[in-house]
Amino acid sequence: MTVSSTITIRPADPERDAATCAEIYAPSVESTPISFETVPPDAAEFARRIMKYSATHQFLVAEEDGEVLGYAYACRWAERPAYDWSVETSIYVAAGQQGKGVGRALYAELFERLRAQGFRIAVAGITLPNPASIGLHESMGFEPIGALRNIGWKEDGWRDVGFWQLSLQPLGDGTPDPPVPPGPTA
């Protein structure tokens, strides 16, 4: 998907994109409470995550002139089979690229691909406060559904995590077909 004449949304490639995705993510781990990880994953770990999430869900990057500006992915919400139609989403945009529509474009393409796979519900967890992330999610149609209070310790304090939910498509009646894996160009 092309966002503008110069920005393209495409599937992440573990060899090509892992190091840049790790660089984009590291500041959120190292100096903010946004991520509850405490050690930034390296490129090898990011490559593993790209392969894992791409096999069943989606992992996308936004690119301009060969530079990755951000990424978004979906993975299982929870391990129980009844959750098979639900996904957890995550998105990170490089410093200096926020507010330019990169996040909206990534999420729009991600949701379109997830719908095509047969997923019904997307959930996003957001460490609070985070007005930029809340604004992005709500602009994409997510609705707040609750929060876990004081659930994690990060950056010298107890942190709340709010949850937002998006209906990707109507639930329908009866047992839905299982979601399908991404296609070869997914």
Is residue 89 included in any domain, yes or no? yes
- Residues 6 or more apart whose CB falls under 8 angstroms from that of 130 comprise 34
Mean model confidence pLDDT for the chain: 95
Residue 58, domain member (yes or no)? yes
> Model-level pTM?
0.94
Task: Report residue 6's pLDDT band, with 50, 70 and 90 as the boundaries.
Answer: confident
Report yes or no on 21 lying in a domain: yes
Q: Is 60 exceeded by the pLDDT of residue 2?
A: no
Sign of CA dihedral 34, 78, 62, 143: negative
Of the chain, the percentage scoring pLDDT greater than 90 comes to: 93
DSSP 79-97: SSGGGTTEEEEEEEE-TTT
SS (H, E, C) 48-83: HHHHHHHHHCEEEEEEECCEEEEEEEEEECCCCHHH
- Flag whether 172 is in a domain: no
pLDDT digits (tens, 9 = 90+) for 96-111: 999 899 999 999 999 9
The stretches of the chain forming alpha helices (DSSP H) are 14-30, 43-56, 102-117, 131-139
Which pLDDT score is estimated for 114? 98
Is 24 inside any structural domain?
yes
Provide the pLDDT for residue 183: 77
Please write the tens of the pLDDT for every residue from 51-68. Answer: 999 999 999 999 999 999
2: in domain: no
Q: Write out the two tokens for 36.
A: 């509850």
175 lies in some domain: no
**Which CATH number characterizes residue 118's domain?**
3.40.630.30
pLDDT digits (tens, 9 = 90+) for 130-182: 999 999 999 999 999 999 999 999 999 999 999 999 999 999 899 999 999 99
CA 179 to chain centre: 18
Long-range CB contacts (within 8 A, 24+) of 146-154: 152/33, 152/36, 152/127, 154/33, 154/36, 154/38, 154/127
Report long-range pairs for 171-174 (Cβ below 8 Å, ≥24 apart). 171/120
d(CA 15, CA 12): 9
Q: What gap in Å lies between CA 28 and CA 56, rounded to an integer?
A: 26
Give the range of the structural domain holding residue 150, as residue numbers without chain letter.
Answer: 7-167
Q: Is 183 a member of any domain?
A: no
How many separate domains does the chain show? 1
pLDDT at 1 exceeding the cut of 80: no
